[in-house]
Amino acid sequence: MDRILVTGGTGYIGSHTVVELQQAGYEVVIIDNLSNSNRDVVDGIERITGVRPAFVEGDCTDIGTLRKLFADYPGIKGIINFAASKAVGESVHKPILYYRNNLNTLLNLLDLMEPNGVKGIVFSSSCTVYGEPDENPVTEESPIKKATSPYGNTKQISEEIITDVINSGARFKSVILRYFNPVGAHPSAEIGELPNGVPQNLIPYLTQTAIGIRKELSVFGDDYNTPDGSCIRDYINVVDLAKAHVAAVERMLQDKSEDKIEIFNLGTGNGVSVLQLINVFESATGVKVPHKIVGRRDGDIEKVWADPERANKVLGWKATSSLEDTMRSAWNWQLKLRERGVM
C-alpha cells in the first residue's frame, strides 16, 4: 500500500482527496496547521472510509517539522501539496504572509523529496494563472497572464520553481493541476467547504444565505459582456476534482509518462454564470436564494472556463457530476452543519 503525504489534508479539497486516495487503496498521512480548517475533519474522513488517516498538526514552512514527519512516516512515495493560503482578496493586503507561506512550504517539500526517496509531487495550482483569457475555453497552452493578486502570483511562481528544480536534474516528477472553481461537498455530507468567517467564495455564501445565516447574496455585477451580464466560471464538483488527484498520483507513481512535468486543466468544460448558478441551486433544492445585483468586485475575471481534453485523454479522468447534484450536495452539507450546531 503506497504511502502518500497530503499537505493541507484537512482543508476543503485536501479532505475530499484523502477520502478518494484511501478508497483507491493508498495509505495517507496528513499534515495541516489548521489555520483554515479543524481537526474534526479527520473524524469525518474516518466516518466515510472507515480508515483514520495519520494526522500531524504542523506547519510546512518549518523544515524541521517536515524532517520529523518523514522520519516518523518512512517510505512516502508521493506528495500532494494543498497547503497554501488561498484568499485572493486577503493576499492583496498580506503579500508577505502569502509569499512566505505558499513558497516556503513548496521549497521545503522539494528540498526533502530526494533524501526521502519520494517519487513525485502533485501541485495544487489554479486557473488564476490564465488571468482574463483572450479566448475560452482555455487549454494548458493558453497564455499565462500577469497575476492580478499575490495569491495568483504564488501559483505562477510555484509552477516555475517546480519546473526549475526538475530541470536541474531532480530525481522526481511532478503533475501540476490547474483547478477551475471547486464547489459542492461529499455526498455523505460528512465533509465539505467550511470557510472561517464570512465566505469569500460564491457557493458557501450562497448556501449560508439560503439557510438564513446571511440576509442576502450580493451578485457582483451584471454589466459584464456575458449573456446575462454576470461573470462566467467553470464550476467543478469537488469529488470529481479529488478523483483527478488519484489519477495523477497513479500516473506519476507508475511512471506512465516520459515527461517529468505534466500540466492539466481540471474543469468541466462548461461555463456557467452567477445568475445561472443561482437558478440551478434553486431548482435543484427548491430553496430560494435572496439576492441583489451590486457593483463589480475588484479583480474579478469576466469569463473563464476549461478545455479539459488533455485530462480526459491523458489522465483518463472526466468530471461526471451534474451541476444539480453538486448544488444539492452543497445544500445537504449546509443542512448538516446546522444539524450539528456548527453554524
Catalytic residues, which ones? 151
- CA distance linking residue 120 with residue 130, whole number of Å: 25
Among 14, 31, 59, 86, binds ligand WQD (CB under 6 A): 86
Of 98 and 205, the one with the shorter C-beta distance to ligand WQD is: 205
- CA distance linking residue 52 with residue 248, whole number of Å: 23
Binding segment toward ligand WQD, per CB under 6 A, in 3-11, 41-49, 164-172, 215-223: 215-223
Grid cell locating 234: 467553470
* Shortest distance (Å) from residue 220 CB to ligand WQD: 4
| DSSP per residue, 167-212 | HTT-S-EEEEEEE-EEE---TTSSS----SSS--SHHHHHHHHHTT
Among 34, 157, 220, 309, binds ligand WQD (CB under 6 A): 220
Residue 172 in contact with residue 114, Cβ under 8 Å? yes
* Shortest distance (Å) from residue 113 CB to ligand WQD: 23
* Shortest distance (Å) from residue 243 CB to ligand WQD: 18
Number of residues counted as binding ligand WQD (CB under 6 A) = 19
* Subset of 118-137 contacting ligand WQD (CB under 6 A): 126, 128
- CA distance linking residue 10 with residue 4, whole number of Å: 14
Q: How many CA atoms lie within 13 A of 91 on its CB side?
A: 21
- 145 touching ligand WQD, by CB under 6 A: no
CB count within 10 Å of CB 292 equals 9
Of 88 and 166, the one with the shorter C-beta distance to ligand WQD is: 88
* Subset of 28-67 contacting ligand WQD (CB under 6 A): none
Binding segment toward ligand WQD, per CB under 6 A, in 63-71, 100-108, 113-121, 217-225: 217-225
Can you tell me which residue has the cell 518512512?
Answer: 74
Of 80 and 274, the one with the shorter C-beta distance to ligand WQD is: 274
* Subset of 234-293 contacting ligand WQD (CB under 6 A): 274
- CA distance linking residue 52 with residue 44, whole number of Å: 9
Q: Is 234 helix (H, G, I), strand (E, B) or coil?
A: coil
Which of 274, 183, 182 shows the shortest CA–CA distance to 227? 274
Of 113 and 191, the one with the shorter C-beta distance to ligand WQD is: 191
DSSP 257: -
Residue 179 φ/ψ, nearest 5 degrees: -80, 150
Of 33 and 209, the one with the shorter C-beta distance to ligand WQD is: 209
Binding segment toward ligand WQD, per CB under 6 A, in 3-11, 74-82, 189-197, 218-226: 218-226
Of 233 and 245, the one with the shorter C-beta distance to ligand WQD is: 233
Which of 320, 39, 87 shows the shortest CA–CA distance to 187? 320
* Shortest distance (Å) from residue 225 CB to ligand WQD: 13
* Subset of 174-213 contacting ligand WQD (CB under 6 A): 179, 181, 200-202, 205
- CA distance linking residue 293 with residue 220, whole number of Å: 6
Q: Which residues bind ligand WQD (CB under 6 A)?
A: 86, 88, 126, 128, 179, 181, 200-202, 205, 217-220, 231, 233, 274, 297, 300
